[in-house]
Amino acid sequence: MPRIRNIIAIGSGKGGVGKSTTSANLAVALADLGARVGLLDADIYGPSIPTMLGLSGRPDSPDGKSIIPMRAHGIETMSIGFLVEQDTPMIWRGPMATSALTQLLNETRWGGDDGEGLDILIVDLPPGTGDIQLTLAQKIPVAGAVIVTTPQDVATLDARKALKMFEKVHVPVLGLIENMAQHMCSNCGHVEHLFGSGGGERMAAQYGVPLLGSLPLEIAIREQGDAGTPVVRAAPASAAAQAYRDVAQRLLAELDKRPRVKAEIGAQLV
């Protein structure tokens, strides 16, 4: 895709692990590091990116064929949520959902009109290993995938399936992100591992992929997501925001190991 240098899929084996929250904050963090970033909400049945970025309304289509992406917090974004009412269910079979995904990707004018395009397009996938994931892997040139999990065994069990799915369709896994790894009490400062500990690290070691980072379980992350301003933008000096920036740095480092990406993005972003 000539206007997008690198497409990175953010996946998980199950829902509820904070994949969309991670995608939104990671996209903003990458933009803060100097990359031109877009975010595609590929969860056709449950789009949440518009809410997390504080966006509403319909995007413009100047020629009736292409769509101008919405912009917020320094990134471009597109979602089926912009094109339907908020409480309208998408009662579609798989082929209709995958067709909608490819239209959103191909008909959006990513990168503006200055010819620069995007360095990175983050694709927030729905949970699981179904039609959307296969369409992305087989029909779209994906630079790599990132798996989001929580430390608990049930989550890592499903995350392993997502990782193996990407391996089977020859999409390199750039790393794992362990979300909700620890919680610090706001009153006493005691740190608890509510969902267990070490699950992401053990999985990374087992499959030989990097652990890009462990993200905290903090009420501010949820509150800012609901309010439409990712915590990386709302509280840039917070420990949570720094954790997302650290993950973004490590992700760029993994991308930089790929010769094609090194030539296009450059080491100045790492």
pLDDT tens digits for range 218-260:
999 999 999 999 999 999 999 999 999 999 999 999 998 875 5
Q: What is the mean pLDDT of the chain?
A: 87
Give the pTM.
0.89
Tokens (6 digits) for 98: 């995958």
Nearest alpha-carbon partner for 207 in 177, 242, 164: 164
Per-residue pLDDT at 25: 97
125-163 pLDDT per residue, tens: 988 878 888 888 888 889 999 999 988 777 788 888 889
Q: Which pLDDT band holds residue 5 (cuts at 50, 70, 90)?
A: very high
- Check: CB of residue 139 under 8 Å from CB of residue 55: no
In this structure, what token pair is assigned to residue 164? 């193996």
| CATH superfamily ID and name for 4-263 | P-loop containing nucleotide triphosphate hydrolases (3.40.50.300)
Where are the extended beta strands (E) located within 89-167?
A: 118-124, 144-149
pLDDT of residue 64: 83
The Cβ of residue 155 has, within 10 Å, a number of other Cβ atoms equal to: 25
Residue 265's pLDDT is what? Answer: 47
Tens-digit pLDDT profile for residues 26-58: 999 999 999 999 999 999 888 999 999 999 999
Q: Measured between alpha carbons, how far is 103 from 66 in angstroms, rounded to an integer?
A: 9
